[in-house]
Amino acid sequence: QSALTQPRSVSGSPGQSVTISCTGTYSDVGIYNYVSWYQHHPGKAPKLLIYNVSERPSGVPDRFSGSKSGNTASLTISGLQTEDEADYYCCSFADSYTYVFGTGTKVTVL
């Protein structure tokens, strides 16, 4: 199972919006609505931001939103804040009860 494809980096100024794409195949993102997104500050535990493509756990700000079209899922961060600078990973349930993570995207707040 190959890793889902994400851009290596995206950047934006405080208050702007950025969108991270996550491209998979028909064996994962394309067929399952079980895409999750994680924020990972190096040296810390990853944090769940989005599950089931677009659902937010309680406590996650509504600045974080998710969507999916075909084989590509997306995470949008609106109203970018300095503390949003981190690595972001998508993850999808895949065939044969496995999971596949994305390649990761570094978000830089300019």
Partner 1 sequence: EVQLVESGGGLVQPGGSLRLSCAASGFAVSSYDMHWVRQAPGKGLEWVSALGTAGDTYYSGSVKGRFTISREKGKNSFYLQMNSLRAGDTAVYYCAKVFCSNTGCYDALDIWGQGIMVTVSS
Residues 57-76 that bind partner 1 (CB under 8 A): 57-58
Q: Out of 65, 84, 104, 109, which residue is the one contacting partner 1 (CB under 8 A)?
A: 104
Identify any residues that bridge with 36 across adjacent strands, giving them in sequence order: 91
Identify whether the C-beta of residue 34 lies closer than 8 Å to the C-beta of residue 93: yes
Q: Which stretch binds partner 1 (CB under 8 A): 10-18, 21-29, 47-55, 74-82?
A: 47-55
* 101 touches partner 1 by CB under 8 A: yes
Half-sphere exposure of 103 (CA within 13 A, CB side): 13
Q: Out of 23, 28, 38, 74, which residue is the one contacting partner 1 (CB under 8 A)?
A: 38
Q: Distance (Å, rounded) from C-alpha 45 to C-alpha 79?
A: 24
Q: Which two tokens stand for residue 19?
A: 């969108």
Q: Out of 12, 21, 40, 54, which residue is the one contacting partner 1 (CB under 8 A)?
A: 40
Backbone conformation region of residue 97, classed left if phi is above 0, alpha if psi is from -120 to 50, else beta: left
Return the number of the residue (14 or 41) whose C-beta is nearest partner 1.
Answer: 41
* 108 touches partner 1 by CB under 8 A: no
